[in-house]
Structure formats: structure tokens, C-alpha cells
């Protein structure tokens, strides 16, 4: 016992041991800095990035804006488009645009929600009445993703739900349909005339 105590005292007084402990401490700090901090920081940065893109708002010009925030792909335009979709019907009534499953779909203009929910081939859809006979329709959104109800007033950029592939759809996209007096019209000139050209 006495020998052990002496050894411990000697070790505690030893400069070599102090130096070794210092090196060990520095190593532990360096290990924390290189291994643990990135583990904390990377998910933090990643979640910040996600919330930033999620909080991104679509371009709005005056009272109207795009149904999606940022860049998107076009899959089908209005009418007969055999190149984009040879197996589809010849009278495509909307403009198909997308980013990826789950991104937010926004109201394109001010008005009142007249439909929100399951709607046949449109899947989970929202329709907005903008007055003067103009309505817009956003189809194929994910089930249980709708953020508006019938009767609710919205403005351009109001989040409606999440891009999905419900109803007659083969992949995540938004079927954006503009109607005038309940007759579908080409969304491209409609939006272009509001300073919002589509692809």
C-alpha cells in the first residue's frame, strides 16, 4: 500500500506525466473538434438549408405569382403534346410543372378556395376562384397535405399543399389548370400576360 501511494505521488509530481496528460487532453479536445462538432454542425446546417428552401417564396409580380418557388421542370403543356406524353389524351387541360415530391405548392393569385380535397383524376386538388370567371386548379397534391379549406381567402404565394402524384398521375408534379368561365385555357399565355412566363 505504502509503495503504491508513493508511486502515485511520484507520478502526480512527475513533469513527464503532466506533459503526457496535457498531450492526452489536447488529443481529446482535437478529437471532439474533428469528430463530434461536425456531427452536430452538419445536421444543423442541413436543417437550416432545408428550412431556408422550405421558407422560399415563389416569385410574385403584382397580385400573381408562380405555383412553385424557384426553378421547376415542365413535363406537359396545354393541349396535344405527343412528344411530352405520347400515351396521354390529346386534350391536356393544364400545365404540368414540378420540382420533387413534397415541395410546397402555392396559390397563383388572390381569390377564394372553392374546392380542396379528393377530386377524381385530379387526386388531391385545390381550386381557387379569382373572380371575373377565372379559376386556377392545382392537382395531384399529396394526401393529407392540404393547408387550405374551401371558403378560405388566399393570395399569390399562400401555401396550398405538397406536390404529389395522387389521381391520374405517373410521377410527382403539379397539374396547374386555368379556367375562364369553367373552360380550360392555356396557362402559358395567361401567366405570361401577368409578367410570369412559364417554360
Whose Cβ is closer to Zn ion: residue 96's or residue 163's?
Answer: 96
- Residues that contact Zn ion, how many (by CB under 5 A): 3
Q: Interior CA angle at 67 toward 153 and 158, to 5°?
A: 30
Q: Interior CA angle at 85 toward 80 and 86, to 5°?
A: 85
Q: Which region, judged by CB under 5 A, interacts with Zn ion, from 32-40, 58-66, 142-150, 169-177?
A: 169-177
d(CA 33, CA 46): 19
Written as nine digits, the cell of 42 is: 452538419
d(CA 124, CA 174): 11
Whose Cβ is closer to Zn ion: residue 34's or residue 86's?
Answer: 86
**Shortest approach of Zn ion to residue 170 CB, angstroms?**
10
Binding mask 72-111 for Zn ion (x = CB under 5 A): ----------------------x-x---------------
* Element of type H or E holding 188: helix 187-192
* Element of type H or E holding 118: strand 111-118
Q: Which residue is nearest to Zn ion (CB)?
A: 175
**Shortest approach of Zn ion to residue 165 CB, angstroms?**
11
Q: Is 161 in the site for Zn ion (CB under 5 A)?
A: no
Whose Cβ is closer to Zn ion: residue 85's or residue 114's?
Answer: 85
Written as nine digits, the cell of 64 is: 400573381
Written as nine digits, the cell of 119 is: 377530386
Whose Cβ is closer to Zn ion: residue 121's or residue 197's?
Answer: 121
Q: Is 163 in the site for Zn ion (CB under 5 A)?
A: no
Q: Is 175 in the site for Zn ion (CB under 5 A)?
A: yes
d(CA 91, CA 81): 9
Interface with Zn ion (CB under 5 A): 94, 96, 175
Amino acid at each position: 500500500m505504502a509503495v503504491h501511494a508513493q508511486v502515485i505521488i511520484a507520478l502526480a509530481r512527475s513533469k513527464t506525466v503532466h506533459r503526457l496528460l496535457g498531450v492526452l487532453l489536447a488529443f481529446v479536445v482535437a478529437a471532439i473538434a474533428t469528430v463530434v462538432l461536425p456531427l452536430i454542425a452538419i445536421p444543423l446546417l442541413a436543417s437550416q438549408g432545408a428550412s431556408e428552401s422550405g421558407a422560399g417564396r415563389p416569385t410574385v409580380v403584382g397580385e400573381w405569382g408562380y405555383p412553385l418557388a424557384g426553378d421547376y421542370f415542365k413535363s406537359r403543356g396545354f393541349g396535344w403534346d405527343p412528344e411530352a406524353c405520347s400515351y396521354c389524351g390529346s386534350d391536356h387541360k393544364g400545365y404540368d410543372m414540378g420540382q420533387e415530391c413534397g415541395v410546397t405548392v402555392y396559390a397563383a393569385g388572390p381569390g377564394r378556395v372553392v374546392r380542396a380535397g379528393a377530386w377524381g383524376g385530379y387526386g388531391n386538388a385545390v381550386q381557387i376562384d379569382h373572380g371575373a370567371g377565372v379559376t386556377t386548379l392545382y392537382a395531384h397534391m399529396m394526401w393529407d397535405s392540404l393547408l387550405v379549406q374551401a371558403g378560405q381567402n388566399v393570395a399569390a404565394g399562400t401555401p396550398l399543399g405538397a406536390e404529389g402524384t395522387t389521381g391520374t398521375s405517373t410521377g410527382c408534379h403539379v397539374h396547374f389548370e386555368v379556367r375562364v368561365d369553367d373552360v380550360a385555357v392555356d396557362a402559358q399565355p395567361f401567366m405570361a400576360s401577368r409578367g410570369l412566363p412559364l417554360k
